Amino acid sequence: SSHARIGPVAISRQTRSEAIAMLLDCMAARTKINVAFANAHGLLLAMDDPEFAETLTRCHVLNDGIGARIGARVLTGEGFAENLNGTDFVPALLNAAPAGTRVYLLGARPDVVARAADAFALSHPHVTICGWRDGYFQDGDRADIVAAINAAKADILLVALGNPKQELLMNALRAELDPPVVLGVGALFDFTAG
Ligand code: UDP
């Protein structure tokens, strides 16, 4: 599929439904993929931070917001078909996911992630929220976190630690994590918790 390049970041030109179909295919085939949403803040960060830029080259990057659209428009002459911000995209992905799809939430404050888990369970009763864990942990806790996510048999892992923390963690743990579809979702749990 085609991409728009903004500095070091190649952003997919998929529509929302194309991106969702691709991720559900990955889930069914157990093909591992990390998804990042590129907004203006993340794109500027990638230009200044080679490690984050390199990390994004190993993610499937979707466009989030007006900054990405203007950047693509200026640099390639063409914007994006749709704005794929995580706040709308994740509920749409869960809506399209087959019944029994197992979803794990990692990130945000303990009370926030617990409330977000409850909210997703209510709004998407056909999926199973198979676990959650807050985003304030030490590097030494990583092995336990991976073990818990794998034991929960998650199909989709949502990681909400902000940029660039979430993408760096997703990449560092990609080989060990069993869930095929991992998305970096920024402040989604705060929005979802209400
Ligand atoms: N967060 C976290 N652990 C951290 C830092 C942030 O879980 O070490 C969470 C934070 O609670 C919030 C989300 O990451 O739910 C997004 O944080 P922030 O607003 O700082 O990131 P941004 O929206 O700027 O990407």
CATH 3.40.50 fits 3-193, yes or no: yes
Is the ipTM higher than 0.95? The answer is no
What does the pLDDT look like over 78-135, one tens digit per residue?
Answer: 999 999 988 899 999 999 999 999 999 999 999 999 999 999 999 999 999 999 999 9
Domain ranges of the chain: 3-193
Which of 112, 161, 185 gets mutated to test ligand 1 (max ligand atoms within 8 A of its CB)?
A: 161
Burial (CB count <10 Å: 0-12, 13-18, 19+), residue 126: exposed
The answer to whether the CB of 56 falls within 8 A of the CB of 34 is no
Q: Which atom of ligand 1 is nearest to the CA of 190?
A: 15
Taken in order 181, 108, 116, 164, the sign of the CA dihedral is negative
